[in-house]
A and B are shown apart, each in its own frame.
Chain A
């Protein structure tokens, strides 16, 4: 129940720097975002289908095979051992080839066992002509059917079959795909190939499967390259780091807490609603499991009340019908004032009110996003063509509509997560909360404006009799709204990601309409002190110290908006300027 008690999860939030084979050439690009069509511009990942995976795996194997001049089979074994990192294979190999060979089970050259005409299989102890026997590079011969059994048992035990060694207990030579493909059954060969493919994605540090159910795409991610947001070809968007759905601007840790909270809370909530009443004073839920109606809440509250009417016990006594009956309750119930379950629900809700507030809004935006997503699909599949007919416009000229809808879907997602953000924003950080809620409110209404335009106004043009001259104005309006909303949300995301610590004035301006080279004016959290000169004046909670160094501006004590005019009311939140509390401020 408590919001404090679910602080269970940590880690995975920081950007881990990567000394692996990441491509560091990828520098964050800060030119203006405004004329960008695709939301995620600097794409730092590639979506891979099965064919791509096989091709990449082949390429890696070929590279190692060529550089180390070994068979592709051996190269494959080596790569798998070093988690498919070509660089690591090379490093380890050239550092100490001998111990790598030993660890992996690769011989420098095959051992020729004396081959007589007939040999005894080391497993079934039957004697076979030597053409029915086979060995790996180590020369330990076994008959074909024992090989098949050995390999089949291992493959059916799971992906451990990729590390198969010679059956001889004193030999540790690796058995690769070559041998599998010669002796295993067709079914086992397929299983083995599948494990090999999966290993390439699952063991590799820079690839993962898309977590959407049934999706078979994988992602190749440029480690250390910034944003974790991935949009798969199946249209599922998720976070590279925690593989939950994409959740910018909230960090992975908060998401994990929120998801856990949602799952436990729904059970808790049901139980509480059914079985408990909150103490009328401290709101802690109380389960009555026995005894009379006189309830004393546990210390420190110690409030004494009547279980039936939830009034203070001090009002009870002979005048209410004795200590063990509650006339107030009985009478009220007869008058229909007490619908027991209704009242209980209301009270329980009271104690969970805060959580519910955020959860409902989170869930509503989630639902709204789903709806927008299906509207978008409908738009692409049906409506666009209709509109193109009606308005005499080639479909290529109608891309702005799709962009608007893509933007709506993305904004709903961001907005949704701002509610998880808000839930965990400490109550004590008053100025931050106020400012956050203001930003969120603006985001909400901006998005509503866009959604309305893309939904309702567009409908008019689809249903119109013929081409309308207003369509061009509509185009300008919707494209404009899309762009404004995009900028606003991008700034919002950045501001929240930096913990609202160094919100610069441009994010306010963005709210008003256009941006001036977004990103440029809001420093990243990591940049530390470098922007102190500008942002200290606007840091939430800091107006008393900083607002008046030159006497020409003041920042609102509640939302931190900076004013250059001498008015006493905040333009943004309407908060009264508190001059008396801060004598150092300019008057």
Chain B
């Protein structure tokens, strides 16, 4: 697993390990509809396949999410990005960063990978237009050198999509 740069990772704490194992077990029994976890032995980075929901702009398209877990997961939010190519969506930047509040300020330790996935799919599904955010170029330029989306000060303004 050597795709993009990983966030400055410290090994998972014991609490994080336990919780992720439980999450993974639950996922295997009861995966969220439309998602597939790619089997790997890396607990700290999950690659998840998303299938565009029927009846939406993204039907029959598949994308890959990369989820990296910090040392103190779930007290701290995971870092979630789309691997290339990222879906065309007004809240998804071409470098895969996602503007979604629960990934940053509104994260709560009672959320799970599964609930994050469902939120992302719902965000995709409610889109009415396939386009990049208006500030895409500027933002992506600023993110060179592998800056994590968690370092961005996000401004959540649009609750429609």
A residues near B (Cβ < 8 Å) are: 122-126, 140, 142, 145-146, 149-150, 152-153, 167-169
Contacts and interface: CB of A to CB of B under 8 A. Distances in A.
Nearest to A150: B109
Contacts of A146: 109
Nearest to B16: A124
A65 to B, nearest CB: 29
Interface in B52-86: 72, 74-76
Given A149-B15, A150-B75, A150-B109, 17 more contacts: A122-B110, A123-B19, A123-B109, A123-B110, A124-B15, A125-B23, A140-B110, A142-B110, A145-B15, A149-B72, A153-B76, A167-B109, A168-B108, A169-B102, A169-B106, A169-B108, A169-B111
A175 to B, nearest CB: 12
Contacts of B19: 123-125
B18 interface: yes
Interface of B: 15, 18-19, 22-23, 26, 72, 74-76, 102, 106, 108-111, 115
Contacts of B115: 169
Q: Which 3 A-B pairs have the closest CB atoms?
A: A125-B22, A153-B75, A167-B110
Contacts of A167: 108-110
A503 to B, nearest CB: 53
Nearest to A156: B75
B108 A124 contact: no
Contacts of B111: 169
A125 B109 CA distance: 11
Which of B72, B74, B76, B111 has the most A CB atoms < 10 Å from its CB?
Answer: B74
Given A123-B74, A169-B102, A149 B109 contact: yes
Contacts of A125: 19, 22-23, 26
A247 B158 CA distance: 46
Contacts of A152: 75
Nearest to A165: B108
Contacts of B106: 169
Contacts of A126: 18
A153 B72 contact: yes
A379 to B, nearest CB: 54
Nearest to A146: B109
B110 A169 contact: yes
B20 to A, nearest CB: 10
Contacts of A122: 110
A122 B110 CA distance: 6
Nearest to A145: B15
A206 B115 CA distance: 44
A243 B9 CA distance: 44
Contacts of B75: 149-150, 152-153
Contacts of B23: 125
A133 to B, nearest CB: 14
A169 B74 CA distance: 13
Nearest to A152: B75
A126 B19 CA distance: 8
Contacts of A169: 102, 106, 108, 110-111, 115
A124 B110 contact: no
A185 to B, nearest CB: 14
A123 B76 CA distance: 12
A152 B75 CA distance: 9
B73 to A, nearest CB: 10
Contacts of A140: 110
A146 B102 CA distance: 19
A168 B109 CA distance: 8
B120 to A, nearest CB: 14
Contacts of B74: 123
26 contacts: A122-B110, A123-B19, A123-B74, A123-B109, A123-B110, A124-B15, A124-B18, A125-B19, A125-B23, A126-B18, A140-B110, A142-B110, A145-B15, A146-B109, A149-B15, A149-B72, A149-B75, A152-B75, A153-B72, A167-B110, A168-B108, A168-B110, A169-B102, A169-B106, A169-B110, A169-B111
A28 B23 CA distance: 69
A142 B102 CA distance: 20
A497 B22 CA distance: 71
Which of A122, A150, A169 has the most B CB atoms < 10 Å from its CB?
Answer: A169
Nearest to A160: B105
A143 to B, nearest CB: 11
A149 B74 CA distance: 9
Nearest to B112: A125
A168 B15 CA distance: 19
A123 B72 CA distance: 12
A317 to B, nearest CB: 58
Nearest to B25: A125
Contacts of A124: 15, 18-19, 22
Nearest to A153: B75
Nearest to A148: B75
Contacts of A168: 108, 110
Contacts of A149: 15, 72, 75, 109
A123 B15 CA distance: 10
Nearest to B18: A124
Contacts of A153: 72, 75-76
A150 B19 CA distance: 15
